[in-house]
Amino acid sequence: VFATVRCEGSLQDEGFYVRKCVELAKKAIGCTSPNPMVGCVIVKDGKIVGQGFHPKAGQPHAEVFALRDAGELAENATAYVSLEPCNHYGRTPPCTEALIKAKVKKVVVGMVDPNPIVASKGIDRLRDAGIEVTVGVEEELCKKLIETWIHQMLTGKPFVTLRYSMSVNGHVLNQLGDAVQEPGGYYSKLLQEYDAIVFSSTLLSKNLSSPASKEPGANQPLQIVLANDPDLSIQIPSTATSKVIVFTEKEISSEQEASQNGVETVVFDRINLALILEYCKRQGLCSVLLDLRGNFADFEEILKEGTELDLFQKFVVEVLPIWGGSKEVSLNIPENLRVKNLTSKVLGETVLLEGYFK
C-alpha cells in the first residue's frame, strides 16, 4: 500500500512540474513565432532549483535558461520540459547537449516535437547518453499551448481562428461584450495570442491603435486592414504600438497614397485568404485571427474561400445578452462547417464559446 501511494504521489508530481512549465512558457505568449512557446523547470530533492522559458526566436531555448538558473544544482536533478529538447543546430545549439553537459539524471517531456528535424531524435540522444526519459506527461495541455505552431509545422500554413459575436437568437452582431473589452481582459488577451489580426477597415479607420495591447512586454500582433474602399483614408495615430499593413484591391493614386500616412499597402487583384496566409507565412507569422466586425462585406469572399479550402481551424464566439441583432448587417458564414471540442465559459453576462473545425 505504501509503495502505491508513493508511486501515485510521484506521478502527480510529474504533472505538477509540467504544468509549471506550461505556465512559464505562457510568459512569451505571441512572442516566439516562428518558434513554439516552451517552458522548463529543474527539480532536485522536490525543490525547483531552476526555471526558464523560450522568450523569442533567435534567443536561447527554455532548457538553457533553466540550466543557467540552476547552475551546479542541475547535476543529478530532473529536468521537466513542455516540448522535447531539440537535438539540432538551428538558430541556437542543441538543448540535448546542454542537458547532458549539466549531468541531469532524468528528463520528463510533455510532448514529442513534431518538427521533422527533431521528431524523437532529442529523446533518443538523451537516452543514448544514459539519461532516463519519460515522454507524454500532461501531453494534451502541452499540445494546446502550442496548437497554432503544431498546425503550421505539420501543414506549412498559418493557423486561422474566426472571432465574432452573436445575439442569443443567433444573429451575428457588430460589437464586443462589455466584460470582454475590459483593459487586460479576454479580448486583449485573445489578440496577444495571435501573430496577425485581420480587421475590417471601417473598424480601424477611426482609431488604429486601439486593438493592440498597451501592456509592457506584450506581443504586438501585425494588424492587417482589409480596405476595399479607395476613398478610405487610414490614419495611424502616433500612439500606435504595432505594425499596420493595408490590403487593398484598388490601385491607389499617389495622391491617395500620401493620405495613407506612409502605411505599408499591398495591392491585390482580388483579396483572398490564400494570399493573406501566404503573406503571413513569408513574414514568419504562424497564427491569424479574423476579427469579424466592421464592414462584413470585407470578409464575404474570405469566409467562402476559407470554408471551401478548409483553411479555418478554430472559432471563438461571444454570445451577448441581446435578443435581436440588426438584419441590415449580415455575415454569411457558410453552413457546411462541422465542429468539434466545443467548450464554453461565462464572463459577466457574456457566454464565450470556443471550438475547432473538423
Query: Which residues contribute to the site for Zn ion (CB under 5 A)?
Result: 61, 86, 95
Whose Cβ is closer to Zn ion: residue 35's or residue 161's? 35
Give the whole-angstrom CA distance, residue 162 versus residue 293.
11
Q: Which one of Zn ion, ligand AOF, none interacts with residue 219, CB within 5 to 8 A by kind?
A: none
In this structure, are residues 199 and 223 in contact, taking their beta carbons and an 8 Å threshold? yes
Whose Cβ is closer to ligand AOF: residue 18's or residue 317's? 18
Binding piece for ligand AOF, criterion CB under 6 A, among 16-24, 56-64, 170-178, 188-196 = 56-64
Residue nearest to ligand AOF (CB): 90
Whose Cβ is closer to ligand AOF: residue 95's or residue 102's? 95
In this structure, are residues 141 and 18 in contact, taking their beta carbons and an 8 Å threshold? yes
In angstroms, give the least distance from the CB of 54 to ligand AOF. 3
Among 149, 17, 171, smallest CA distance to 81 is for 17
In angstroms, give the least distance from the CB of 38 to Zn ion. 8
Considering only residues 91 to 110 of the shown chain, the ones binding ligand AOF according to CB under 6 A are 91-92, 95
Burial group, residue 123, by CB count within 10 angstroms (0-12, 13-18, 19+): buried
- The reply to whether 308 belongs to the active site is no
In angstroms, give the least distance from the CB of 63 to Zn ion. 6
Give the whole-angstrom CA distance, residue 11 versus residue 26.
23
In angstroms, give the least distance from the CB of 155 to ligand AOF. 14
115 binds ligand AOF (CB under 6 A): yes
In angstroms, give the least distance from the CB of 81 to ligand AOF. 7
63 binds ligand AOF (CB under 6 A): yes
Which candidate in 63, 84, 138, 318 is catalytic?
Answer: 63
Whose Cβ is closer to ligand AOF: residue 62's or residue 232's? 62
Active site residues: 63
Residues within the interface to ligand AOF (CB under 6 A): 35-36, 38, 54, 57, 61-63, 83, 85-86, 90-92, 95, 113, 115, 118
